[in-house]
Amino acid sequence: MATQARRSTDAENRCGHRSQLRDRPRDGARTGGPRATVCLACRNQAKAEAARDEIVRRTPGAEVDVLSLDLSSFEHIHRFATDLAARHERVDALINNAGASPLKQQFTVEGFELQFGANYLGPFLLTHLLLPQLRLAAEQTGDARIVHVASVAHNIGRIDPDTFRGRSKYRPFPAYAQSKLANLMFNFALARRLPDGLSTHAMHPGGVDSDIYRELPRPVHAALRPFLISADRAGRLGTELALSPEYRDRSGEYLTAQRPNPVSRRARDVAAQEALYAESAVLAGVEPLTRR
Q: Domains along the chain?
A: 17-284 (3.40.50.720)
Query: Tell me, what's the pLDDT at 172?
Result: 95
Average pLDDT, rounded, for the chain: 83
Residue 34 burial class via C-beta count within 10 angstroms: exposed 0-12, middle 13-18, buried 19 and up: exposed
CA distance 9 to 146: 9
pLDDT tens readout for residues 63-118: 999 999 999 999 999 999 999 999 999 999 999 999 898 999 999 999 999 999 99
- pLDDT confidence of residue 5: 34
> What is the structure's pLDDT at 31?
39
Looking at residue 155, what is its pLDDT?
92
Report which DSSP code applies to 73.
Answer: -
Q: How far apart are CA 87 and CA 183, in angstroms?
A: 27
Whether the per-residue pLDDT at 4 is higher than 60: the answer is no
Taking only Cα atoms into account, the Rg of the chain, rounded to an integer number of angstroms, comes to: 18
Instruction: Return d(Cα 251, Cα 255) in angstroms, integer.
Output: 11
Report the candidate in 14, 157, 177, 197 with the shortest Cα–Cα distance to residue 99: 14
| pLDDT at 235 exceeding the cut of 90 | no
**Is the pLDDT confidence value at 7 over 90?**
no
Asked if residue 184 has pLDDT above 50, the reply is yes
The C-alpha angle 102, 103, 107, rounded to 5 degrees, equals 50
**Closest residue by Cα to residue 131 from 198, 49, 86:** 198
Q: For 156-176, how does the pLDDT look when each residue is reduced to its tens digit (9 = 90+)?
A: 999 999 999 999 999 999 999
pLDDT value, residue 238:
81
Specify the pairing of strand 198-204 against strand 254-256: parallel
**Which residues carry out catalysis?**
176
Mean pLDDT of 214-218: 59
Whether the Cβ atoms of residue 134 and residue 199 lie closer than 8 Å to each other: no
Q: Is the pLDDT of residue 271 over 50?
A: yes
Q: Is the confidence at residue 186, as pLDDT, over 80?
A: yes
Cβ–Cβ under 8 Å, residues 38 and 63: yes
% of the chain beyond a pLDDT of 70: 77
Beta bridge partner(s), residue 65: 39
When pLDDT is averaged across residues 131-144 and rounded to a whole number, the result is 97
pLDDT of 193 higher than 70 = yes
CB 172, CB 220: distance < 8 Å: no
Digit-coded pLDDT (tens) for 8-48: 333 333 323 333 333 344 444 343 445 678 999 999 999 89
∠ at Cα 110 (89, 132), nearest 5°?
15
